Structure 1
């Protein structure tokens, strides 16, 4: 299954917010600044940020001194957190085994495919859960 670029954009946005807060003491960053600095269109940036806000990875503040900031330390955010935020409700694989063939052998092969992809998805899930965004900064 192909995914949008939202995962890499979400990671980039979170890293940028973290870096600006750490290095330049910015508390809130505007969507426009994030968009310009990361070269992501404003509508796309806003959409990804909405997803990050919904997942409580970022916090938005309205007003003249408002913007976006991290809701918790970067060291507590995993790749899986970002994936689940920007690709909500999606599995890592889309399994479509609706074929016109039937019979015990076909059913057995279909079950083997499902089992292997499920095991692979669980392994990827665990790997993403073990990887913190701060791992990228080391």
Structure 2
């Protein structure tokens, strides 16, 4: 797969923010606290959080009492929402079709490769859409 660990990091960050809010420990969590508790480097945490903010899964508040909080309930966030936030515009498979071979059979094989990998990507997306983050807590 061509994906980074950002999907699992994004899920972990959202679950951690939810858990801290549930315990009423914090309304907003700092990037530093999230980074330390989840053992994700601060620059990586900041990048993932920027993506989560851009996708409106989290809200950032500046200032001394600022930090990050969920933009909506965890029960409304799917794996696919997180995936779209942290892997924007990336295809699952990078397909190599630039070959020197020519002919109808070569073109048919290349098309079959594209078709099968596209179908696999759609199946993965559908699976991610069905799983809510709260499913992990049950």
Which residue of structure 2 aligns with residue 67 of structure 1? Answer: 67
Which residue of structure 1 aligns with residue 38 of structure 2? Answer: 38
Give 5+ residue unaligned stretches, structure 1: none
Q: What aligned pairs does 1:113-132 form with structure 2 within 5 A after superposition?
A: 113-132=113-132
- TM-aligned CA deviation for residue 94 of structure 1: 1.6
- TM-aligned CA deviation for residue 25 of structure 1: 4.2
Matched, 1:79 2:79: yes
Q: Is the 8 A contact 2:2 2:92 kept in 1?
A: no
Offset from partner CA, 1:2-58 (integer Å, 9 cap, x none): 211111110000000000001234210000100000011111110110000000000
TM value normalised by structure 1? 0.96
TM value normalised by structure 2? 0.96
Worse-matched range after superposition: 23-32 or 57-66: 23-32
Q: What aligned pairs does 1:1-138 form with structure 2 within 5 A after superposition?
A: 1-138=1-138
Q: Is the 8 A contact 2:57 2:71 kept in 1?
A: yes
Give the aligned CA root-mean-square deviation in angstroms.
Answer: 0.9
Offset from partner CA, 1:78-135 (integer Å, 9 cap, x none): 1111111111111122222111111011111111111111111111110001111111
Give 5+ residue unaligned stretches, structure 2: none
